[in-house]
């Protein structure tokens, strides 16, 4: 049977107290609704429809996916009304209804859930809670069969004692939706068209209502305010951290790691506290990441050590390198094996060759550095004239003295030496020494200025 997914994402979320639509508030750096779209995509549906309303332009700009369609709910008249807006886009056999503010639902849970739907079966996801206050209750008959859902505001005192609650997630045939949604009524305490009224309609039509509960209660937790958002953020991070540890990664404190993307690791990786991994990150075997580091869209080779407080962004770091502490590798940086970039060094769009060292207080931009090059403290490549960028080339074995300025475009020859404090504006020949600085003058018995 073909599958369509409807994701309800039209609410404003007044309790968030934000100009941003609720479903765009992030978990792990991505909008909540994007998490739901991605979970649905794992089921390979033929069609996914997002029902939007408040802040619709923002939602449509921020949430992406294959075969994604959009349906507007101009008036917020309830969940049943929201699904009805998606009906014109649906031609599939089975429809799964999800929510843009329930971001942690797992694909495996949904896959098993949808498999239970037939033409004569409606699937409903429920949950047992010690304190069910505020949720719709699952009402069953003496045989244990679901007969209907009653919302908290419409429930009797006896019904309020029921601990099995409705999560809102359901799946059924499109034919049943087509027949039943037009029959929904808003004669209830909230004056809304409840999607939950479909349960009683299904029972009346002789259909079986089957229920399933998720493996983890947090999969169906929704977000209504920033407190709940923060709680689910920590749940997400804990789950990701535990997965890394099962894959052979040592986390010195799993509660102080943030993963905001896709992370691939080798064995025996060690990550210290307060590390943030963003985008696509690959960590080879035996990599060690010090505390307070940010690694974004980067690949780090086996055996490399990243010292504390370093930022690696859009860079490729080879095997057995050493980076930091307090280093910043900007996009386009490539470190070959056993290269070293030390404290307070910034690199951008540069290739640093095997075994080369840039140890202290240096800026390297738009450069090509060969093997075995040593760049002294305080060196900068002057690669920008205010309009254009130019390249600096360091050939194998070059040695750059401290506090030198290399005015690009310029080439430092093989095994050449640049004396400390030089301003180099012309190419330096192979095996030569270049000194480009003012001649020193010593004035004897010079009287220091004194206070007047």
Q: What is the pTM of this model?
A: 0.91
pLDDT at 389: 95
Q: Which residues are known catalytic residues?
A: 360
> Beta partners for 384?
389
CA angle 34, 242, 214 (to 5 degrees): 60
Number of C-beta neighbours around residue 79 at 10 A:
25
CA-CA distance, 86 to 48, in Å (whole number)?
10
- CA separation (Å) from 77 to 18, 326, 383, 421? 21, 54, 60, 73
CATH superfamily of 226-434: Hexapeptide repeat proteins (2.160.10.10)
CATH homologous superfamily for 3-220?
Spore Coat Polysaccharide Biosynthesis Protein SpsA; Chain A (3.90.550.10)
The reported pLDDT for the residue numbered 187 is 85
Residue 213, Cβ density class (10 Å: 0-12 exposed, 13-18 middle, ≥19 buried): middle
Biggest CA-to-CA distance, the chain: 109
Render each residue's pLDDT in the chain as its tens digit; 452 residues: 899 999 999 988 899 999 999 999 999 999 999 999 999 999 999 999 999 998 999 999 999 998 899 999 999 899 999 999 999 999 999 999 999 999 999 999 999 999 999 999 999 999 999 999 989 999 999 999 999 999 888 899 999 999 999 999 999 999 999 999 999 998 877 888 989 899 999 999 999 999 999 999 999 999 999 999 999 999 999 999 999 999 999 999 999 999 999 999 999 999 999 999 999 999 999 999 999 999 999 999 999 999 999 999 999 999 999 999 999 999 999 999 999 999 999 999 999 999 999 999 999 999 999 999 999 999 999 999 999 999 999 999 999 999 999 999 999 999 999 999 999 999 999 999 999 998 889 999 989 888 87
**Which residues on adjacent β-strands are paired with residue 259?**
277
Domains 3-220 and 226-434 share a fold: no
Rounded Cα–Cα distance for residues 275 and 294 (Å): 6
pLDDT at residue 440 in the model: 87
Q: In the 8-state DSSP scheme, what is residue 438?
A: P
Q: Where are the alpha helices (DSSP H) in 276-427?
A: none
Q: How many angstroms separate the CA atoms of 406 and 387, rounded?
A: 18
Beta bridge partners of 331: none
DSSP-assigned letter for residue 440: P
Task: Please give the full DSSP string across 111-151, using - where no structure is assigned.
Answer: HHHHTT-BTTEEEEEEEE-S--TTS-EEEE-TTS-EEEEE-
- Sequence ranges of the binding site: 8-11, 22, 73, 78-79, 99-101, 136, 151, 166, 224, 330, 348, 363, 374, 377, 383-384, 402, 420, 437
Residue length of the chain: 452
- Asked whether the beta carbons of 435 and 452 are under 8 A apart, the reply is no
The answer to whether the peptide bond before residue 333 is cis (omega within 30 degrees of 0) is no
Burial of 112 (0-12, 13-18, 19+ CB in 10 A): middle
Give residues with Cβ within 8 angstroms of 282, minimum separation 6.
Answer: 263, 264, 265, 298, 299, 300
How many CB atoms lie under 10 A from the CB of residue 168? 20
Tell me how far apart the alpha carbons of residues 116 and 336 are, in angstroms, rounded to a whole number: 53
Q: Are strands 250-251 and 270-271 parallel, antiparallel or unpaired?
A: parallel
- Whether residue 254 contacts residue 236, with contact meaning beta carbons closer than 8 Å, is answered with no
Across-strand partners of 212?
125
Of 308, 276, 303, 306, whose CA–CA distance to 291 is shortest?
308
Q: How far apart are CA 260 and CA 79, in angstroms?
A: 31
Residues in the annotated binding site for Mg(2+): 101, 224
Domain extent listing, the chain: 3-220, 226-434
Structure confidence at residue 327 (pLDDT): 98
The annotation places the binding site for UDP-N-acetyl-alpha-D-glucosamine at 8-11, 22, 73, 78-79, 99-101, 136, 151, 166, 224, 330, 348, 363, 374
Residue 153's pLDDT is 86
Judge whether 339 and 356 are in contact, CB under 8 Å. yes
- 3-class DSSP assignment, residue 421: coil
In this predicted structure, what is the pLDDT of residue 232? 98
State how far the Cα of 52 lies from the Cα of 336, in Å rounded to an integer: 48
Q: What is the pLDDT of residue 103?
A: 98
**Residue 152 confidence (pLDDT):** 87
**Predicted local distance difference test score (pLDDT) of residue 15:** 94
C-alpha distances in Å from residue 301, one per residue of 95, 123, 266, 314, 359: 45, 47, 10, 14, 19
As a whole number of angstroms, the distance between CA 286 and CA 115 comes to 42
């Amino acid at each position: 049977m073909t599958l369509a997914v409807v994701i309800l994402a039209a609410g404003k979320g007044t309790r968030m107290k934000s100009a941003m639509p609720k479903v765009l508030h992030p978990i792990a750096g991505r909008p909540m609704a994007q998490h739901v779209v991605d979970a649905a995509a794992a089921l390979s549906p033929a069609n996914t429809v997002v029902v939007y309303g408040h802040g619709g332009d923002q939602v449509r700009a921020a949430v992406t996916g294959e075969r994604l369609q959009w349906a507007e709910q101009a008036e917020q008249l309830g969940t049943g009304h929201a699904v009805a807006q998606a009906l014109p886009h649906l031609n599939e056999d089975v429809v799964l209804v999800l929510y843009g503010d329930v971001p942690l639902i797992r694909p495996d849970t949904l896959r098993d859930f949808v498999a239970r739907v037939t033409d004569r079966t409606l699937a409903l996801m429920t949950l047992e809670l010690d304190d069910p206050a505020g949720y719709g209750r699952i009402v069953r008959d003496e045989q244990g069969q679901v007969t209907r859902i009653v919302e908290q505001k419409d429930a009797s005192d006896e019904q309020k004692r029921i601990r099995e609650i409705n999560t809102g997630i359901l799946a059924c045939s499109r034919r049943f939706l087509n027949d039943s949604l037009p029959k929904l009524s808003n004669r209830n305490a909230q004056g809304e068209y409840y999607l939950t009224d479909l349960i009683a309609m299904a029972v009346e039509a002789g259909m079986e209502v089957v229920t399933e509960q998720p493996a983890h209660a947090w999969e169906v937790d929704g977000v209504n305010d920033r407190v709940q958002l923060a709680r689910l953020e920590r749940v997400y991070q804990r789950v990701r951290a535990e997965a890394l540890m099962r894959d052979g990664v040592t986390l010195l404190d799993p509660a102080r790691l943030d993963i905001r993307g896709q992370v691939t690791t080798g064995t025996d990786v060690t990550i210290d506290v307060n590390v943030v991994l963003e985008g696509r990150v690959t960590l080879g075997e035996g990599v060690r990441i010090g505390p307070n580091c940010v690694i974004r869209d980067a690949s780090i080779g086996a055996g490399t050590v990243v010292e504390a407080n370093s930022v690696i962004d859009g860079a490729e770091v080879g095997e057995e390198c050493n980076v930091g502490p307090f280093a910043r590798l900007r996009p386009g940086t490539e470190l070959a094996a056993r290269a070293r970039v030390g404290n307070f060094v910034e690199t951008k769009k540069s290739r640093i060759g095997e075994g080369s060292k840039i140890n202290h207080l240096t800026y390297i931009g738009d450069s090509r550095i060969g093997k075995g090059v040593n760049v002294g403290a305080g060196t900068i490549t002057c690669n920008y004239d205010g309009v254009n960028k130019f390249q600096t080339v360091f050939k194998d074995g070059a040695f750059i003295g401290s506090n030198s300025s290399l005015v690009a475009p310029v080439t430092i020859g093989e095994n050449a030496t640049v004396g400390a404090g030089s301003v180099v504006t012309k190419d330096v020949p192979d095996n030569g020494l270049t000194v480009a600085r003012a001649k020193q003058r010593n004035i004897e018995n010079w009287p220091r200025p004194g206070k007047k």
